[in-house]
Amino acid sequence: MNDDAKLIVESIMSDDVHTVTAERTLGELKTIFEKVSYHHLLVENEGKLVGVISDRDVARNLSPFLETSSERRSDRSLLDMTAAELMATQLITVGRESSIDFASILLLENNISCLPVVQENGQIDGIVSWKDILKCHVYGVEP
Amino acid sequence: MSTIPPKDTPNASTEGPQAGASAISFHFYEEDGTVFAELSESSNASQLGKLQLELLLSQDGLDKYQFDEGVLDTLAAQINKGEIGRFHIGNRTDAEIKLDISSDKLLATLDVIPAKGGEVVSPKLLESTLSSNRIMSRCVERATLTTLLNDLKENRAVNQLHIAKAVEPEGGEPTRFESLLKEDKDLRPKEDDSGVVNLKNLRDYITVEPGTPLMRRFPAQEGKAGVNVVGGAIVSEVGTNLDFDLKLEGCELDGNDSNLLLASIKGIPVVMSNGVRVDPVLSIKDVDHATGNINFDGAVIVGGNVTSGFSIECSGHIQVKGLVEHASLISGGNIDIGGGVVGENDADPPGVEYSAHLKAAGDISAKFINSAFVEGQGNLTVKEYALNSRMNILGQLQLGQQGGKGRLLGGQTHAERGVVANILGGEAYVKTEIGAGCDPLLQDTLDKLHSSHTRRVNESKQLKEILNGIVAAGGTEQVGKIVLAKSQKVEEAVAAIEQKVASLEAEISAIETRLTSFNEVTVQGKKRVYPGVIIQVNNGLKKTLYECENESPGLTIGNEE
């Protein structure tokens, strides 16, 4: 692999992506985020990206009284909200062959922490986070 | 033995009991070392023979002296006749030493006759004998001398002993030539990195680049003079002086070292006795068990055949004058096969594995091809026929256009620049798939390049919008005490993407031009086309599919059916 090939998103992205469908409920999403170490889930429909949900999106929609003595029925009913209602649909994405510089600028200037990697037709290829890019800049590329 | 009588007054001392025979007694005279026999009258003396006389001498302690040949037989006869008197029969003798030097003075030979009752040869006498004959001590071997002294001490005879030998001169060293090439003489199969031993991979042929040291010359050296047994010098010969054979091709002398031979061209070095020839071509009679597989950086000429199961892989052209049977040829240039290619395809599914494989970066030509997998980036020329083969070439396939039957039958063929044959298919309506024009994958490649181009253009637009915002905000951002040159970084990113866009546009343009060039490509069966032949011509975006249903006297398929 030459140096140019190493400086594209494909070389640092994760292709083992956790995706969910738009029908998943807030309760299910809460359970998922409680078990995993990452902060974003890609919402897909037949393999194509339709939205992104972060753990903050989930936390923001949970009632603070949930699972407390003050819990009300309306608090629990919030758990039935679907991913489609919660997810961000203004998607900022990159492709496998996008440069790491391009991805870095998108993250910084849009104040987001990860970018889905998709094909032209929206098919999900992977995800790249600010941590992946930071690691690349700090630790460099093995010659 | 009785009292010794005076030598000049003989006196009988032995009397025999029988009339007619003499009595005998022996006497040794110390003063002159002589032995006498005294015969006297006897009335009862016995008849005696030589053996009895020897026994009597032994009993008297006289057998150690020298007795002339036949003297005891004569004495016995005298006794038995009854003669009387004194007879001189023997002597005390000292050992004798005799040294002989050959006429060329290269060898001294020693003989020693043992003493008979007298003095043995002393070491002193030996030394004086050698020194008086001027024998050089360095010419006498110590072991020989030790053995001789022991023999002399034991009074043993010495016959023709080479007591001294000349020290031979040491001849001068002739000019010596030492090859500087690592020659793999071990023709045993070797284990590769994966632990596999291929019995056909016997060796790697070495190639040299211009300037590679080939051979070093060590000039002739003078010899060392020898010496003959009497100290004369023997002149040594000077070693033969030889020069590099500079008539050999592909080599030259190093400008700074006249004893160093360098390669002047790239090729295979052939080491000779006084030089190295560099052949630009590796010539082999046959490729078989004697040569093993050939892997060579250069061109290869095979005068005979490439035997079943063997392979040639080289960076230059390959020429095979005979047949290629169930073998693989991979060339960085052209492949020219005087005979044909014979393979088979027993794989399931058919068309995947062939036992004969040709792959060339240039043109390929053969008399015939049967059941082979052929890949070429140039043209493919077949004189007689191509049967049941899979052939993918970037140039044109020509069958029988310079003589020969020119038939294409069975298999799958794709020739980007078209096919010209005399006969397509056969009387048995064998399925014969023929493709021409652009590789279907080329269009896929073009589509991907267009997609990538569109995406990079959009990315450029995105960044420019971001850049506008940054510029409007002053173009920089302060992080702590550091001022970040944001606009500069984004401008650089935009420039990199636009450079990529330009590169993609060049690739797209090249492929589109290439696709256009396929407009005139055709598949032609000049004399006959049989049912079973399927022709597909991809002239860029325009595709033509023709399936022959009726025998045709001649046909050309191109842009239009």
Report the distance separating Cα B326 and Cα B48, nearest Å: 101
Is residue B13 a part of any domain in this protein? Answer: no
Among B100-109, B180-189, B256-265, B536-545, which is the least confidently predicted range? B180-189
Is some CB atom of chain A closer than 8 A to the CB atom of B167?
no
Q: B473 with B507, same domain?
A: yes
pLDDT at residue B469 tops 80 = yes
Is some CB atom of chain A closer than 8 A to the CB atom of B477?
no
* Residue B324 or residue B171, greater confidence: B324
> B478 falls in which pLDDT band (50, 70, 90)?
confident
pLDDT at residue B324 tops 90 = yes
Is residue B339 a part of any domain in this protein? Answer: no
The number of domains in chain B is: 3
Strands B364-370 and B335-342: parallel
pLDDT at residue B351 tops 70 = no
For residue B497, give the nearest of A99, A109, A120 by CB distance.
A99
State mean pLDDT over B529-536: 92
State mean pLDDT over B456-466: 95
Among A3-12, B287-296, B456-465, which is the least confidently predicted range? A3-12
With an 8 Å Cβ cutoff, the interface of chain A facing chain B consists of 94-95, 97-99, 101-102, 105-106, 109, 120
Report the distance separating Cα B150 and Cα B112, nearest Å: 13
Q: How far is B496 from chain A (nearest CA, A)?
A: 9
* pTM strictly above 0.90: no
pLDDT at residue A19 tops 90 = yes
Q: Which amino acid type is present at position B359?
A: K
Percentages (nearest 5) of helix, strand, coil residues in chain B: 20, 35, 45
Q: In chain B, which among 440-459 make CB contacts under 8 A with chain A?
A: 451-452, 454-456, 459
Q: Which residues of B411-441 are buried (b: 16+ CB within 10 A; e: fewer)?
A: bbbbbbbbbbbbbbbbeeebebbbbbbbbee
Measured torsion, CA atoms of residues B6, B9, B15, B18, in degrees rounded to the nearest 10: 150
pLDDT > 90: percent of chain B: 53
Which chain B residues are within 8 Å of A94, Cβ to Cβ? 459
pLDDT of residue B341: 96
pLDDT of residue A66: 76
Is some CB atom of chain A closer than 8 A to the CB atom of B225?
no
Q: B87 with B102, same domain?
A: no
**Which of B127, B142, B165 is the endpoint of a domain?**
B165
pLDDT of residue B181: 86
Q: Are A95 and B455 within 8 A, CB to CB?
A: yes
Chain centroid, CA B112 distance in Å: 55
Q: B32 with B77, same domain?
A: yes
Q: What's the CATH code of the domain at A106?
A: 3.10.580.10
pLDDT of residue A100: 94
pLDDT at residue B46 tops 90 = no
Beta strands in B388-457 (DSSP E): 390-393, 397-399, 407-409, 412-415, 419-424, 432-437
Q: B100 with B59, same domain?
A: no
* Residue B397 or residue B168, greater confidence: B397
pLDDT of residue B7: 60
Parent domain of A92: 3-139
Omega cis (within 30) before B553: no
pLDDT per residue as tens digits for the range B386-431:
999 999 999 999 999 988 999 999 999 999 989 999 999 999 999 9
> Smallest Cα–Cα separation from B199: which of B285, B286, B283, B290?
B290
| Predicted ipTM of the assembly | 0.86
In the numeric block, which tokens belong to residue B482? 């550091």
pLDDT of residue B188: 60
Residue A114's DSSP bridge partners are: A129
CB A123 within 8 A of CB A17: no
pLDDT of residue B17: 41
Report the distance separating Cα B362 and Cα B333, nearest Å: 5
CB B95 within 8 A of CB B119: yes
Among A16-25, B41-50, B54-63, which is the least confidently predicted range? B41-50
Q: Are A102 and B466 within 8 A, CB to CB?
A: no
Identity of the highest mean pLDDT range in B269-278, B302-311, B479-488: B302-311
pLDDT per residue as tens digits for the range B6-16:
665 444 444 44
pLDDT at residue B561 tops 50 = no
Report the distance separating Cα B115 and Cα B100, nearest Å: 20
**Which of B70, B91, B112 is the endpoint of a domain?**
B91
pLDDT of residue B42: 82
Is residue B268 a part of any domain in this protein? Answer: no
> Smallest Cα–Cα separation from B282: which of B307, B312, B323?
B312
Q: B128 with B150, same domain?
A: yes
Identity of the highest mean pLDDT range in B202-206, B283-287, B512-516: B283-287
The number of domains in chain A is: 1
Q: In chain B, which among 481-540 make CB contacts under 8 A with chain A?
A: 489-490, 492-493, 496-497, 500
Is residue B451 a part of any domain in this protein? Answer: yes
Report the distance separating Cα A41 and Cα A53, nearest Å: 5
Measured torsion, CA atoms of residues B536, B538, B544, B548, in degrees rounded to the nearest 10: -20
DSSP-H helix ranges across B348-485:
440-472
pLDDT at residue B216 tops 60 = yes
Is residue B260 a part of any domain in this protein? Answer: no
pLDDT per residue as tens digits for the range A61-118:
888 777 777 777 777 778 889 999 999 999 999 999 999 999 999 999 999 999 999 9
pLDDT at residue A47 tops 60 = yes
pLDDT of residue B101: 94
> B540 falls in which pLDDT band (50, 70, 90)?
low
Report the distance separating Cα B38 and Cα A28, nearest Å: 151
Identity of the highest mean pLDDT range in B46-55, B148-157, B267-276, B363-372: B363-372
Is residue B398 a part of any domain in this protein? Answer: no
Q: How far is A106 from chain B (nearest CA, A)?
A: 8
pLDDT of residue B13: 43
Is residue B400 a part of any domain in this protein? Answer: no
Mean pLDDT of chain B: 87
Parent domain of B488: 441-519
> B203 falls in which pLDDT band (50, 70, 90)?
low
Is the dihedral angle over the CA atoms B58, B61, B64, B68 positive or is it negative? negative
CA B543-B548-B549 angle, to 5 degrees, is 135
> B560 falls in which pLDDT band (50, 70, 90)?
low
pLDDT of residue A69: 77
Is residue B475 a part of any domain in this protein? Answer: yes
**Best mutation site among A100, A120, A121 for testing chain B: the one with the most B CBs within 10 Å?**
A120
In the numeric block, which tokens belong to residue B150? 């022991």
Is some CB atom of chain A closer than 8 A to the CB atom of B470?
yes
Report the distance separating Cα B292 and Cα B189, nearest Å: 9
